[in-house]
Amino acid sequence: MKFLRRVGECPWLVFVGLVLGAILIFSRYGLLPRLELERDNRNVAVVVDYREMLPMAEEAGLSPEATLEFLKKKGVVGLMVKEYTAEDIQYEPGPDFEGLRAGTAADMPIFYRVAPAPTWQLRQSLETTRKILSEYPKVAVVSPSGEIALGYPDLKPLAFLLKEHGIAVAQTEFSRQLGAVQLNWLAFPSLIPLHSVTNEELLVRRIDRAALHDRFVRAAVERSVRLLVMRPAASGNVASSLESFGGEVGRLVEALQSHGLQSAWPRPVFAGHPRWRMHWLSALACSMAFLLSLARYVRRMNGTLDKPMPTAEAVLFVILAGVLASAAWKIAVFARLLGALSAAFIVTEASLTAMDVAAADRARRYWRTLLEASLFVTIGGLAVAALFSEPLYMLRLMTFSGVKLTLLLPPLLVVLHDMRRRVHPESLTEFLSRPPLWGEFFLGLALLSLLALALFRSDNVQFIPGFEAKTREALERFLVARPRNKEVFVGYPCLLLYVFAVKSGLWARYREVLRVGVVLGFSSVVNSFCHYHTPLFFILLREFHGLWVGTVVGILAVFAVKYAALPLCRKIHFLAE
């Protein structure tokens, strides 16, 4: 009790520092196994389709064996061989024994694609697969081909057959195949993530070879994909030359090695490690992050942020943190709810901390609040990451359910805070009781449109416009760990513009739009920590780049407004008031 009394007598900021230190210490119990696994999981294999290789071999005047030796020297590690159906009019239905024999002779691991089959042929197809796995031990990984996985809706026979022979399943990214998810669950933990781009996708989406190269590097470095199926350039049935394709493979391997990866056949990483689940101390770290963010928000709403922490509140904080941690540790649904709410309140507190700049403060006050907010959001993000850094989430069999909440709830909480604390010139009651202003109407409509766009585009990369894709590629080439656009072009620039507006006495009624923009930026930061398949050090580097690049963009935006936009807009009252 003496210790608690000392804590209670300490200033609020001291209590916050102690809690943040405890969160960091407790988070390590969930993050250390993840870091160890990420350190060991460095093998990446470039795989080539046997049948797509043959036209290049014929054009070069080489035998398949000589072609495989050439590609192995360039960096190809594995060979993809698939089973044919009646739809493959160029070949007889059934296993591609020629490709199997070629891969075996070249001593290359084989990625075997099992074709779908009608229900009445399921037993025969499974028996054929069994013989293939027994007679060709170089088959190292298997994945169903076609729109429907072999055996769907009952994937247990196929999964049991693969486990019986110790064969891993290729977990294809962004797969829409019926039965793929069920097979991944049944095969867990013997899964190896795979990325593949079909020739049809290359043509339809107009993906050039440079963009394809960047896409493969991003998949391996950013999403921990370990099998990369690379196809030659094709226009109709005309393949690229063997020499040019070999050069592309060589450049890809060099790029991967520059990121600390090595060209070798990967293993199912979780199959070689004891399966772990959520650590209670990790749950405690996330619970403390949630309660601390919530407490700071309540204190802000009541105007008591800097008041000392009473002993009773300190005791209640510790008890509640333990109760929430125990509930999350035992109940999976509660853990997901805790993670989502923690992320939302961490975003809210980090945003309010960053914007806690008074008009009379000097510039250095801004840098201090920005660093405080960055430290808080990083520690909070690590706490959420520690809660879910376990195999099911790292392999994306389960996904974080709070992404949409971190885009919706924090802006609402910040607006409510601003209305209550008169950061906005009017209270909520005053705002609702007067007629709307046209400027507010249009800005509100623009803000709702931006929020809707952010929600729609989360996890919908196919809707990214071309100019944005080029910007992303340029940032990736320059920085490796590309910062997210909502941080660089929305969050940090809005923060600097808001500080400029406060210190210049501008746009009092319209600053709320900038404040919500800041919230969207910090939402992006926390969501980055919720990508559990991304290496943790990569996330930290990405957020560092987001901080300084976003600040530079913000400074440029302030100069543009101050020295170009404002002089031109003095006659427009609502922009210059």
Please tell me whether residues 260 and 394 are part of one structural domain.
no
Please tell me whether residues 29 and 59 are part of one structural domain.
no
Q: State both tokens at 383.
A: 């706490």
pLDDT tens digits, residue range 29-60? Answer: 999 999 999 998 999 999 999 999 999 999 99
Please tell me whether residues 159 and 280 are part of one structural domain.
no
Q: What is the DSSP letter of 115?
A: P
pLDDT tens digits, residue range 392-429? Answer: 999 999 888 788 888 889 999 999 999 888 887 766 66
H/E run at residue 114: strand 110-114
Q: Which residues contact 74 (CB under 8 A, 6 or more apart)?
A: 246, 247, 249, 250, 253
Which of the listed residues 265, 293, 322 is the one where a domain comes to its end? Answer: 265
Which of the listed residues 265, 293, 321 is the one where a domain comes to its end? Answer: 265
Within 125-221, strands assigned E span 139-144, 168-172, 191-196
pLDDT of residue 576: 46
* Backbone torsions φ then ψ of 76, nearest 5 degrees: -70, 130
Please tell me whether residues 191 and 247 are part of one structural domain.
yes
Nearest-CA neighbor of 408 among 467, 313, 341, 480? 341
- Residue matched to tokens 């998949």: 219
Q: Which residues contact 514 (CB under 8 A, 6 or more apart)?
A: 494, 495, 497, 498, 501, 507
Nearest-CA neighbor of 197 among 175, 222, 182, 168? 175
Distance CA 218, CA 479 (A): 12
Of 253-267, 292-306, 354-368, 484-498, least confident by mean pLDDT is 354-368
CATH of the domain at 52: 3.20.20.150
Domain boundaries, position 199: 42-265
pLDDT of residue 463: 46
Q: Are 53 and 84 in contact (CB under 8 A)?
A: no
pLDDT tens digits, residue range 207-261? Answer: 888 888 989 999 999 999 999 999 987 644 445 789 999 999 999 999 999 999 9
Distance CA 192, CA 300 (A): 47
Of 64-78, 346-360, 425-439, least confident by mean pLDDT is 425-439
DSSP 43-108: EEEEEEEHHHHHHHHHHHT--HHHHHHHHHHHTEEEEEEE-B-TT-TTS-SB--HHHHHHHHHTT-
288: left (phi over 0), alpha (psi -120 to 50) or beta: alpha
- Residue matched to tokens 């901390």: 353
Question: Is residue 196 assigned to a domain?
Answer: yes
Q: What is the DSSP letter of 201?
A: H
pLDDT of residue 197: 87
Q: How many domains does the chain have?
A: 2
pLDDT of residue 408: 87
Please tell me whether residues 30 and 47 are part of one structural domain.
no
Please tell me whether residues 419 and 290 are part of one structural domain.
yes
Where helices occur in 165-198 by DSSP H, the ranges are 180-187
pLDDT tens digits, residue range 136-193? Answer: 999 999 999 988 999 999 999 999 999 999 999 999 998 889 999 999 999 999 999 9
Please tell me whether residues 250 and 295 are part of one structural domain.
no
Please tell me whether residues 252 and 290 are part of one structural domain.
no
Question: Is residue 478 assigned to a domain?
Answer: yes
* Backbone torsions φ then ψ of 114, nearest 5 degrees: -90, 125
Please tell me whether residues 512 and 405 are part of one structural domain.
yes
Question: Is residue 270 assigned to a domain?
Answer: no
Enter the pTM of the model: 0.87
Binning the chain into helix, strand and coil, the percentages to the nearest 5 are 65, 10, 25
Burial 403-441 (b: 16+ CB within 10 A, else e): bebbbebbbebbbebbbeeebbeeeeeeeeeeeeeebee
Please tell me whether residues 71 and 16 are part of one structural domain.
no
Burial class (CB in 10 A: 0-12, 13-18, 19+), 299: middle
Question: Is residue 188 assigned to a domain?
Answer: yes
Three-state SS annotation for 210-275: HHHHHHHHHHHHHHCCCEEECCCCEECCEECCHHHHHHHHHHHHHHHHHCCCEECCCCCHHHHCCC
Three-state SS annotation for 493-504: HHHHHHHHHHHH
Nearest-CA neighbor of 173 among 145, 186, 192? 192
Distance CA 356, CA 476 (A): 32
pLDDT of residue 10: 64
Q: Are 395 and 546 in contact (CB under 8 A)?
A: no
pLDDT of residue 447: 61
Which of the listed residues 265, 298, 317 is the one where a domain comes to its end? Answer: 265
Distance CA 511, CA 500 (A): 10
Please tell me whether residues 15 and 131 are part of one structural domain.
no
pLDDT tens digits, residue range 264-318? Answer: 999 998 876 666 678 899 999 999 999 999 999 999 999 988 888 888 888 999 9
Please tell me whether residues 25 and 139 are part of one structural domain.
no
Q: State both tokens at 470.
A: 């080029």
